[in-house]
C-alpha cells in the first residue's frame, strides 16, 4: 500500500494518502512568508502515530525548503516539534515559548504524543489499521520511492545537519 503526501494548495492542506485513499491532512493558512499550521486530522481507520509523524515531517520539511516560518497553532505539530527539536528553528520567536520542553513529555519511548492531539474523523466502528516501520508502504516512503521528500532526514545525521543549516545545503547544491 503506497504512501503519498501532497500539498493541495487549493484546499490549503497537506494530504497523506495510503493505497490511494485520503488518510488525513494538515490544514494550514499562509500570511506572507509565514505558514500557519492550524490542525491535523486523520481518518479513524488510518489512526497511526507513524502516518501522523510522516505527514507532519513532510509539512515541516516543505516549510524549510520554501524558507517559511512556522506558526504551529496545531497542538500535534507543537508536540512533534518538541520531540524533534531539530525543527524548532522554523518556529517564529514569539511562538518558541509555546513549544513544550522535553520535560513535559511522556517518558516511554513508544510515546504517541502528536497522535494524542490529532482530530480523528470517521466511524467509531472503523477498523484500526496500524502502520509500522516494517511495513512495505513505509519502507517505500522512507527509501524515497514516492517522490523527492522522504524520512531520510530523520535517520541520516548529514541530511539532518543540512536541514538545520540552509547555508550548508546551498553550498552543496
Residue 13 φ/ψ, nearest 5 degrees = -140, 140
The predicted structure's pLDDT at residue 63: 95
What is the three-state SS of 81-130? HHHCHHHHHHECHHHHHHCCCHHHCCCCCCCCHHHHCCEEECCCCCCCCC
CA 40, distance to chain mean position in Å, is: 9
Give 10-residue mean pLDDT values along the chain (173 residues).
88 93 94 94 87 94 95 92 91 87 52 68 54 57 48 42 44 43
The predicted structure's pLDDT at residue 117: 74
Ordered structural domains, the chain, with CATH: 3-172 (3.40.630.30)
Residue 72 CA to residue 59 CA, distance in Å, equals 11
The predicted structure's pLDDT at residue 135: 58
- Eight-state DSSP code of residue 165: -
The answer to whether 24 and 43 are in contact (CB under 8 A) is yes
Looking only at the bridges linking them, the beta strands covering 69-72 and 34-43 are parallel
- Residue closest to 38 by CA, chosen among 155, 113, 118: 118
Amino acid at each position: 500500500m503506497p504512501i503519498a503526501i501532497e500539498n493541495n494548495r487549493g484546499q490549503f492542506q497537506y494530504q497523506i494518502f495510503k493505497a490511494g485513499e485520503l488518510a488525513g491532512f494538515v490544514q494550514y493558512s499562509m500570511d506572507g512568508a509565514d505558514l500557519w499550521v492550524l490542525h491535523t486530522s486523520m481518518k479513524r481507520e488510518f489512526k497511526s502515530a507513524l502516518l501522523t509523524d510522516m505527514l507532519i515531517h513532510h509539512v515541516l520539511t516543505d516549510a524549510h525548503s520554501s524558507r517559511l516560518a512556522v506558526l504551529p497553532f496545531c497542538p500535534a505539530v507543537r508536540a512533534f516539534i518538541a520531540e524533534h527539536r531539530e525543527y524548532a528553528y522554523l518556529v517564529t520567536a514569539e511562538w518558541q515559548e509555546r513549544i513544550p520542553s522535553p520535560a513535559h513529555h511522556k517518558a516511554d519511548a513508544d510515546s504517541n504524543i502528536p497522535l494524542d492531539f490529532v482530530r480523528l474523523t470517521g466511524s467509531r466502528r472503523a477498523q484500526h489499521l496500524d502502520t509500522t516501520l516494517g511495513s512495505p508502504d513505509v519502507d517505500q516512503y522512507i527509501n524515497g520511492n514516492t517522490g523527492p521528500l522522504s524520512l531520510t532526514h530523520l535517520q541520516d545525521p548529514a541530511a539532518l545537519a543540512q536541514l538545520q543549516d540552509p547555508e550548508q545545503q546551498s553550498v552543496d547544491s
